[in-house]
Chain A
Amino acid sequence: MTEDHWIVGKSLAQDSAHLHVTGEARYIDDIPVVQGTLYAALGLSEHAHAYLRHIDLSEVSRAEGVFAVVTAADIPSENHLGGALKDEPILAVEKVEYIGQPIFAVAASSVEAARRAVRLAKIDYEILPHNLDIRRAVAAEQFVLPTKRLQRGHAQQAIQEAPHQLSGQFSLGGQEHFYLEGQIAFALPKEDGDFHIHSSTQHPHHVQEIIASMLGRELKDIEIECRRMGGGFGGKESQASLFACIATLLAYKTQRAVKYRVDRDDDILISGKRHCYDIRWQVGFDEHGSILGVVLDYASRCGISADLSGPVNDRTMFHADNAYYLDQVDIISYRCKTNSQSNTAFRGFGGPQGMMAIEYIVEEIARYLKKDALSVRRINFYGQDERNLTPYGMRVEDNIIPELTDTLVQSSSYLERRQLIEAFNQTNPYLKKGIALTPVKFGISFTATHLNQAGALIHIYNDGTVQLNHGGTEMGQGLLTKVAQVVAETLQINPSHIRCTASTTEKVPNASATAASSGSDINGMAAQQAAEVLRARLIEFLAKHFEVSPEQIQFKTGQVFISDKKTLSFAEVAHLAWFNRVSLSATGFYKTPKIHYDPKTMSGRPFFYFAYGAAVAEVLVDVLTGEYKVTQVDILHDVGDSLNPALDIGQIEGGFVQGMGWLTTEELWWNQAGKLMTHAPSTYKIPSIGDLPRKFNVRLVDKKPNREATIYRSKAVGEPPLMLAMSVFFALKHAIESIADYQISSQLNAPATPESILTAIQTLRSFQSTTAA
């Protein structure tokens, strides 16, 4: 298919790549400040749960360089963050609920002056008991949102009647986004009380709403702009708004421009992360490993407010099946309130945690039956024409997981390597190898149906160049480039003639967040539609002008052919159209078809389609210390007909490595007082260059256009690859279990740090010696 296209499907470099490598790409902190700009800092809570008895900010106000100090009392209208539920204040009132919660803000003449000043606050706290423990919250029924349950059949009964039963529990850590560019906003007062705010955000419209409500203004008064983010990963979806609010509130108060570049430690202390989970499970299965019934109890740490925890936890439930048909199933999801950062979106959006549970269970079944987990996986895969209904009632129509898995098993020599590994482990007591193959099936669309809409705006100038805008935001994923490719293809112009402009609420109203991997799906479609409108308009005009029939006009590879009479450049056409008073600007709009979903019954078709992939990881573990290396990774991933293979491979590799970090080195650690102590890169360890697997083979599934009519039959790629990293976790578990000759399973919790691994080894060994005795 792709061969027919001129621009789409080509591995173009990102539109900003030449600016990235020269340092010329402008991020918000690089925008030249205006005269009199002030700099902000936040004063944060030092207690995990306390009443604010007295706040003395007199020394803060007197500190050198300070222009303004604001507390909740200075907020002109609503003191609320969050979407539907207004359950989190911008600045704390009366009470603080986690260490790092913002209490007051300062604007000063320099970043340093502001940061120095906030340390001078004297706050009298009345300390209350705090809780971070997930299961304690469940027991005490402390929830940010009501518990949800999704059931099909009679899982408990099916388990009891099954030939074999197993049950267990494990914990999954959260994850800090660690976007390289920290949170930042730059607020500029305009006339008539309006504001223009540069915000590093995946969701300008949301920031616009929150700021308007904070100031008691209307959406028309507030403009939010974002050219690019230095990474987002979900962390700048709902949570960018706090920082934009602070900059704007201080700008409102001082009537000066205010920039708030958040200190990295503060950023990590304040902002929410991927949810940590505690998962309990029961399963019944037959002698082949076929799952007959499963009960899953997911409890997640949501922090102090709902934020996006509702849809995140819903997605966990929707991905409890991963690639497996679960006939009798009972899924329960607790959304726990804890005295910690309000957890939020993070690439995968709860899906990864959902899948980890079922993958864990599959591994346990395999260990119990002394089988290769791959065979248990295969036997449970969704079928084609039967066994294809998800627990939430959506039919899996495009299942390619069995064949994808077969191809990968072949290309990675999985079976041969597994044998070699087990032989190696026989003769090596101190170093152990492990291998695992894990699949991914990930649902694409926002589960809230109304969010699946997008708008675009295209201008053609009379020199034939184009400005392209849409509601999507660029955070490194290459969205602007992909959408520009779509427009270039539609108009048959060279992409270098297209300028992708900053996302701004002034050009496309009410845009959804760039999230749920849907960026190029929905914005690509909207932009294509706008480009088609313009092309149709030009064709109509040219047909009249040159007195030919519309069919005789062809836009092709940079030129416009008018029957066989005449060939014009696109620039000439644009100029001619302008001269003849043809409108050269158009909007486009798209809403995802087919989807519907009833949140009450948790059923319907929440997803337009699924994206698939699988990975094989091999690891080498030092069983004396728990340290390890990931030695080889083979990935086969489905992106439909790729819009841009190089960018897609970039998403796959980057997503995989990020997922690997989540499950291995990235550990969030709170102390007894409830303070997150891993609040800087010195203590919070994302993968570094040496963690890259030495053999890293990444392939795209060949010739598998999306069955659904997506933009050029491509598939979304932002999130699904992250979950390919589950293979690393289970390879580690496989290596560990070689110690007991694969007879017993190990209790490995994520992240699998060297400590977590050594603990699992110790437990396995002590279990082995007690059973031997």
Chain B
Amino acid sequence: MSFHTRNTIYFYLHGKRIALRDVSPSLTVLNYLRDELHRTGTKEGCAEGDCGACTVVVADLNQQGCIQYRAINACIHFVPLLDGKILFTVESLKTNHGLHPIQQAMLDCHASQCGFCTPGFVMSLFGLYKTADKPTHEQLCHALSGNLCRCTGYRPIIDAGQRMYDYAQALAPEQQSALTHPYSAQETPSAWLSQLHELAAHTESLVIHHQQQAFLAPRSISELSHYLLAYPNAYLLAGGTDIGLWVTKRQQHLNTIIYLGQVAELDQISQTDEYLEIAAAVNLERAYQALVQHFPELQDLHWRFASLPIRNAGTLVGNIANGSPIGDSMPALIVLGARVLLRRGNTQRELALEDFYLAYQQKDLQPSEFVQAVRIPLRTSTQILRVWKISKRFEQDISAVCAAFCMEYQEGKIHTIRIAFGGMAATPKRATHTEQALLQQNWSLATLEKAQAALAQDFKPLSDMRASADYRLHVAQQLLHKFYLQTSGSSFVSELGDLHD
């Protein structure tokens, strides 16, 4: 088989088209900006996607042909992933007409102290500025959930986020440009649009060879399958929010990387009569938006899953495929009866998600096989669903425990029940004894207590820096209690969010 390929990465930066050849495919955007271009406004605070000092914005075309702007963490984003996109860094906001409204608002609100986090906040705000109208306090928090500031206590930054739109309105005509224009539904900044169209004309697959490294970015599922068969030891890269850290934190050397993000067929969310299908390249943010539309009970999990920049880069299928025992998507998907669609060459097979996990870091995945999509059965009218994530911090934290419950009643009895936990075992796992204790029972306190006892049979969790074994088990039992309260007609509120405006 032969495919049209090219060995040059094309993207736009600051109105300039950049053609990059001969770079290490695991070079991060952050190091590229700082070391090669000497654009040092973008900072490194952690090199693991957790602090936001490195936030930049990428723009590309969505399926409707409109520009979408996404804040991402440059520290764990590999340079070839910029192919076909426009990159904005804090330096991009500078014009000859003074500060950008965001910058002016930050300055006037005294929103910087040491200033090290500031460029990252400015860029997260830029991402928001270009994607939303005047945001609420909540929206601002969601947009800035990946940015840490150790100095200010955040209040002035929130103020700046609210005021930046006022500054935009007050701009003189000569200050107005695509950069300073906040989001509006009909806006089409033509220069950027034509840059993106021009880049889109490079329909060949990007294939880079650099020293001992190779990077292949197929354009179709068959091309992807082909490469995976040809390079069974290659790393399959999706959003890189796990893989990026292997490079920056473990100094791991990646020989061959196959990137699935340029396969348009995989960037699809579709729906049949039976299921919702989310394919491998769909990022977490889009995936969770779709999931929440079908299952509003996942709203909290959506907001508490990592941060917006991580959700903008990482994929749902990557989360599933990585299969960490503390991954947040799996418990909910397992109780919803999700199935994974696997593919190797031209062969496909389907598997219940819970069967995909064999043991710690072991999956039912053959060499050269990949997860094409996840299929989530559509909701039934009788389904009662609850999902909780427990962590030390609300935003951007990894679960100590993540719990999902899905139940159906029939004639006052628990007719079906599926319970799954993350953080409680070596894999995301069903609580089978607990389910047994509940099945066909009246939903009463007595049943609850039996089920809580059964949980201790299901799980022997570990102690680590996130939580002790005791707490994990105890909180799991308490969540069962909470599930009971919320589904058995108790009139007491038991959700912080219900009272905390």
Asked if B18 is at the interface (CB within 8 A of a chain A CB), the reply is: no
Given A231-B150, A428-B493: A755 and B394 interface contact (C-beta under 8 Å): no
B400 interface contact, C-beta 8 A: yes
B479: interface (CB < 8 Å)? yes
Q: Are A656 and B153 in contact (CB under 8 A)?
A: yes
Query: Is B393 an interface position by the 8 A CB rule?
Result: yes
Q: Which A residues, 686 to 718, have Cβ-Cβ distances below 8 Å to chain B? A: 686-692, 694, 696
Cβ-defined contact, B41 with A689, below 8 A: no
A625 touching B115, Cβ below 8 Å: no
Chain A residue numbers with a CB within 8 Å of B420 are none
Residues of A within 8 A of B328 (CB): none
Q: In the complex, A358 Cα to B492 Cα: how many Å?
A: 37
Cβ A13 vs Cβ B115 within 8 A: no
Contacts of B94 in A (CB 8 A): 22
Select which of B102, B145, B152, B394 is within 8 A of A654 by beta carbon: B152
Give the contacting residue for A14; candidates B41, B46, B113; CB below 8 A.
Answer: B113
Closest to B497 in A: A629
Report chain B residues within 8 Å CB of A23.
Answer: 40-42, 89-91, 118-119, 122
Instruction: Provide the residues of chain A in CB contact with B145, threshold 8 Å.
Output: 688-690
Q: In the bound complex, do residue A647 and residue B110 qualify as a contact, i.e. CB atoms below 8 Å apart? A: yes
Could you tell me the distance between the alpha carbons of A503 and B115 in the complex, rounded to whole angstroms?
A: 17
Closest-by-CB residue of B relative to A232 is B114
Considering the complex, give the chain B residue whose CB is closest to the CB of A261.
B44
User: Distance (Å) between the CB of A669 and the closest chain B CB?
Assistant: 4
Interface flags, A643-660, vs B, CB<8A=1, else 0: 000110110011111100
Interface residues on A, range: 35 or more
Given contacts A22-B93, A430-B493, A625-B482, A181 and B475 within 8 Å (CB-CB): no
Question: With A23-B91, A650-B113, A753-B392 as given contacts, are A680 and B118 in contact (CB-CB < 8 Å)?
Answer: no
A30 within 8 A of B: yes
- Chain B residues, Cβ within 8 Å of A228: 114-115
Interface string of B98-129 (1 = CB under 8 A from A): 01001110111010111111110010000000
Complex contact B108–A692 (CB within 8 A):
no
CB < 8 Å neighbour of A692 from B47, B119, B154: B154
- Pairwise interchain contact A230-B494, C-beta atoms closer than 8 A: no
- A631 touches B (CB below 8 Å): yes
Check A686/B110 contact, CB under 8 A, given A25-B115, A628-B496, A681-B50: no
A27 vs B158: C-alpha distance when bound (angstroms): 25
Q: Does B181 contact A (CB under 8 A)?
A: no
Chain B residues with Cβ below 8 Å from A430 are: 482, 485, 492-494
B113 near A669 (CB under 8 angstroms)? no
Which of A18, A477, A759 is the one whose CB lies under 8 Å from B113?
A477
Contacts of A625 in B (CB 8 A): 388, 390, 475, 478-479, 482
* Of A111-119, A519-527, A554-562, the one touching chain B: A111-119
Q: Mark A606-630, 1 if CB is under 8 A from B, else 0.
A: 0000000000000010101111110
Q: In the complex, are the beta carbons of B155 and A230 less than 8 A apart? A: no
- Which of B3-11, B366-374, B427-435, B459-467 lies on the face that meets chain A? B459-467
Complex Cα distance, B158 from A655, in Å, reads 17
Flag whether B43 is at the interface (Cβ < 8 A).
yes
Instruction: Give complex CA distance A428, B84 in Å.
Output: 55
Does A682 contact B50, Cβ atoms closer than 8 Å? Answer: yes
Chain A residues in 8 Å Cβ range of B89: 23
Which residues on the A side are within 8 Å of B495 (C-beta)? 431, 622
Tell whether, in the assembled complex, residue A624 and residue B501 are in contact, meaning their CB atoms are under 8 Å apart: no
For the complex, is B363 an interface residue (Cβ under 8 Å from A)?
no
Complex: chain B residue closest to A18, CB-CB: B107
> How far, in whole Å, are A265 and B48 apart by their CA atoms in the complex?
10
Taking A20-B118, A21-B112, A690-B395 as contacts, is the C-beta distance between A683 and B46 under 8 angstroms?
A: no
Residues of A within 8 A of B388 (CB): 625
User: Are the C-beta atoms of B467 and A16 separated by less than 8 Å?
Assistant: no
A688 engages B393 (CB within 8 Å): yes
> How close is A481's CB to chain B, nearest CB, in angstroms?
11
The verdict on B377 contacting chain A, using a C-beta distance below 8 Å, is no
A754:B392 contact, CB within 8 angstroms: yes
A562 → chain B closest CB, angstroms: 38
A572 at the A/B interface (Cβ < 8 Å)?
no
Query: Does A179 interact with chain B (Cβ within 8 Å)?
Result: yes
B443 vs chain A, min Cβ distance (A): 17
Q: A624-B478, A665-B393, A688-B395 are in contact. Are A653 and B152 (CB under 8 A)?
A: yes
In the assembled complex, how far is the CB of residue B56 from the closest CB belonging to chain A, in whole angstroms? 11
Quick one: closest A residue to B401, CB to CB?
A625
Q: Which of chain A's residues have a CB closer than 8 A to the CB of B392? A: 665, 667, 685, 753-755
Which residue of chain B has the shortest Cβ distance to A721 in the bound complex? B153
Q: Mark B446-472, 1 if CB is under 8 A from A, else 0.
A: 000000000000000000111110010
A478 at the interface (CB under 8 A from B): yes
In the complex, the answer to whether B141 meets A690 with C-beta atoms within 8 Å is yes
User: Are B106's CB and A650's CB within 8 A?
Assistant: no
Q: Say yes or no for B58: interface residue by CB 8 A criterion.
A: no
Query: Whole-angstrom distance from the CB of A772 to the nearest CB of chain B?
Result: 19
CA distance A362 to B104 in the complex (A): 46
Q: Are A654 and B90 in contact (CB-based, < 8 A)?
A: no
Cα distance A233–B150 when bound, in Å?
9
| Min C-beta distance of B414 to chain A, whole Å | 20
Cβ-defined contact, B46 with A431, below 8 A: no
* B113 (CB) vs chain A CBs: closest residue: A476
Q: Which residues of A contact B144 (CB under 8 A)?
A: 689
B150 touches A429 (CB 8 A): no
Q: Return the chain B residue nearest A424 by Cβ.
A: B499
Check B493–A654 contact: CB distance below 8 A: no
Q: Which 6 A-B pairs have the closest CB atoms?
A: A23-B41, A476-B114, A230-B116, A20-B115, A657-B153, A476-B113
* Partner-B contacts on A (CB < 8 A): 11, 13-14, 16-27, 29-30, 32, 112, 115-116, 119, 177-182, 228-233, 261, 263-265, 428-431, 475-478, 620, 622, 624-629, 631, 646-647, 649-650, 653-658, 665, 667, 669, 671, 677-678, 680-683, 685-692, 694, 696, 753-755, 758-759, 762
18 A-B residue pairings within 8 Å (CB atoms): A14-B110, A21-B106, A21-B107, A29-B40, A180-B148, A431-B493, A624-B479, A625-B390, A625-B479, A650-B151, A654-B150, A654-B151, A657-B152, A681-B46, A687-B154, A692-B153, A755-B475, A758-B475
Query: Beyond A627-B394, A691-B393: 7 further Cβ-contacts under 8 Å?
Result: A21-B107, A119-B251, A179-B116, A180-B117, A622-B495, A653-B152, A754-B400
